[in-house]
Amino acid sequence: MKKTKYRTFDEVYENYEGRNNILIALSIKKGSNILYLGNNKAHIRFLSNLGNLCICNGIDQLTSITESFDTIIADRFFDSIVWNQKIDFLLKLLTLKKESGHIYIFANNKLAIRYFSGTREEESSLPYGNLVVSNHLLSFREWERLIKSTGEEFKFYFPYPDLDFTNTIYTNDPKLGQIQSVETLFKDYRLMMFNDVQALNEINKSGYFKDFSNCFLIEIGSPSNVEMIKFSLERKPEFQMMTSILKNGTERSVEKKCICNAGIKHLDKIEEYYHRFNKYNQNLNIAYCPLKRKSQDTLEFKYITGENLEEKIELAVMKRDRSKIESYLKIIDELASVGERSPFKPNQRFYDVFGKRNYSLLENQECYDIANIDLIFGNVICNNKYYAIDYEWVFDCTIPKSYILFRTLLHSYALSKLEPSDLEALYELCGINEQLKDIFMEMEYSFQDYVSHLKISDIQKEYHLLKLFPYDLEQRIRKIELIQGEDKHTYYFDNGPSFNETFDIVPGIDVKLLIHGKSILGIHQLTVDGKAVSFTTNADLIDGNNYYFLNDPEICICAPAGNQLDIDGYFYLFNDGNIDRIVELMNLIGELAGQNHALQKHLDSLLSHRIVRLLDRKKK
């Protein structure tokens, strides 16, 4: 697992540059006068490099500001104030906006799907608190009514999955398959009441995506021509892109812009493969979406109207129309069969992308020299022909066509609804058995590592940010606080009964490990920088290396001389109502053992006394 450079999760949260995706989408001009209402340190750093930044931390400070601004950003500023104040301060912001300027409101949604699915709410300590207690968040329709009352032009955007780690920004209801299972960060453990991605896809089909969107970006002023933006900032710098759907009049276009200069070569490759495909393609039924070079760092693609294949697959799955599904798979097969056919012969490029392992099972697999591995159903639009609209991942090496089809099946939301036996039949149709599946899944992991640097899922694992179903919570989650002086760091573990963990500590300061949940804990070894150290506990009973705690366990180490604390132990019981009874029985056993020992001692004394008397009689 890759590690961050930060010691605590709070540092990650403050410094993770992915938090600025939502600002990148605003396309703020350099040298602008900017007013920022909020306290996000990552945002403040980003905006201070763009123009003349004025930071407002509270309502009192806002009332004293009189200058005019090109860009005003209210970062959840309105989430904590009542309706009348919202109107008053919105009118105040309008007086501060230049005529050609914009106000951007970042706001959480009272009806956010993430809250229903179990994410801890920012504005309430109660589950579903936004619904059952008074708070100041608004729904989509309430925000719409409030903004309309000002008489200003406005436009709604819907950042997904949230305001902090925006991956995609929608303006209209997404197409089927566009709502992906995107990871987000949360500061505490998260309960999983249901799969919110699947639920949001179903809600979207019913036309209520905007009502249950997690959050809003509201633009007040002349609206932009943006219809959708997708970021790929989890990737390595040379692959980081911002893809935008733009509308000018009645015409739409798609722009793919590299975030870093290192990405220009990646754009060069996309353009090269587009021309190579056209050179080899003789199939009038298929095409790559036309593109042109708009600038060194931007490609412009023609916007293709029509249904994507994921939508067609969804309908076929609903109707259980196996023949239709197979016909759409044939389209993917045709798109993957362009160029000269060649035997599978992995080169260094292949190993760099997909990893080095035993590929002998792939020796007889069908390969072509134009291998677009991202032919998923959502990337193919049906118009007068079938267009591949995203062909970013094409490689100079032989790649089995069966791997491309494997990815098509693996990444289909619609096909995931099939019965396992029906889905298995599709894999068999593509010539993919269990052994090939295992190899292809390993290739997929290697490909994801090749593309991405530090994933949010890595951060979640490193900082023990767990997702749990409600029935797991009491018995599985271990909340542990490490306290040194005024510093306190909280960790969550979900690794069964074993307790083998490492903690970063500061030398020379007393350490207290506080475990939330009465326990019977075996402490096999406790070391600092590899050396065993002594410790004390608040255990109610100690039996060898086993410690019985009727209260939250505390393990204390006096001024350790090292930087790394390791504990190796085992939870025999955790948060179990029987612990009190067990300790009571253990104490009773101890008392009985003591009484038995005293009785035995007394009996031994009597017996000894009688033997002495008998011996005395014999002597006489």
Pseudo-torsion of CA 78, 80, 83, 87, nearest 10°? -30
Contacts of 234 by beta carbon, 8 Å cutoff, 6+ apart: 18, 452, 453, 454, 455, 456
Whole-Å CA distances, 592 to 410, 482, 550, 561, 596? 63, 38, 21, 43, 6
Say whether pLDDT at 150 is over 80: yes
- Cα torsion 352, 357, 363, 368 to 10°: value is -20
Q: What's the mean pLDDT when you consider all of the chain?
A: 88
Range of lowest pLDDT (3-17, 20-34, 140-154)? 3-17
The continuous run of DSSP H or E covering 442 comes out as: helix 434-451
pLDDT value, residue 461: 76
- Measured CA to CA, the distance from residue 601 to residue 579 in angstroms comes to 32
Specify the higher pLDDT residue, 178 or 610: 178
Sign of the dihedral through C-alpha 468, 472, 474, 480: negative
The verdict on whether omega for the bond into residue 161 sits within 30 degrees of 0, i.e. cis, is: yes
Mean pLDDT of 195-211: 88
Give the mean model confidence (pLDDT) for residues 176-193.
74
- Condensed to tens digits (0 to 9), the pLDDT of residues 274-321 reads 999 999 999 999 999 999 999 999 999 999 999 999 999 999 999 999
**Whether this model's pTM surpasses 0.85:** no
pLDDT at 467: 74
pLDDT above 90: residue 366: yes
Confidence of residue 322 (pLDDT cuts 50, 70, 90): very high
Token pair in block for residue 401: 């066509």
Q: What is the pLDDT of residue 499?
A: 85
pLDDT above 90: percentage of residues in the chain: 60
Q: 118: alpha, beta or left, given left = phi > 0 and alpha = psi -120 to 50? A: left
- Has residue 129 got a pLDDT over 60? yes
* Whether residue 620 has pLDDT greater than 70: no
Beta strand pairing status for 190-191 and 467-468?
parallel
For residue 143, is pLDDT > 70?
Answer: yes
When pLDDT is cut at 50, 70 and 90, the band that residue 22 belongs to is: very high
**Token representation of residue 604:** 């031994």
Looking at residue 491, what is its pLDDT? 84
Res 138: pLDDT: 93
Q: Give the position of tokens 């697992």.
A: 1
Which pLDDT band, with edges at 50, 70 and 90, does 618 fall under? Answer: low
> In this predicted structure, what is the pLDDT of residue 438?
95
The string of pLDDT tens digits covering residues 333-361 is: 999 999 889 899 999 999 999 999 999 99
**386 vs 477, higher pLDDT:** 386
pLDDT (average), residues 363-368: 93
Predicted local confidence at residue 107, as pLDDT: 96
Residue 458 has pLDDT above 90, yes or no: no
Q: Spell out where 95-222 has E strands.
A: 97-108, 154-160, 168-170, 190-191, 215-220
Q: Mean pLDDT lowest for which of 246-260, 291-305, 408-422, 605-619?
A: 605-619
- pLDDT value at position 472? 56
3 state SS of 57: coil
Using a 10 angstrom Cβ sphere, with 0-12 exposed, 13-18 middle and 19 or more buried, the burial of residue 504 is: exposed
What Cα–Cα distance (Å) separates residue 222 from each residue in 52, 104, 225, 253?
22, 12, 10, 20
Residue 78 DSSP SS3: helix
Amino acid at 387: Y
Q: Tell me: the pLDDT tens digits for 40-62?
A: 888 999 999 999 999 998 888 88
pLDDT band of 7, cuts 50, 70, 90: confident
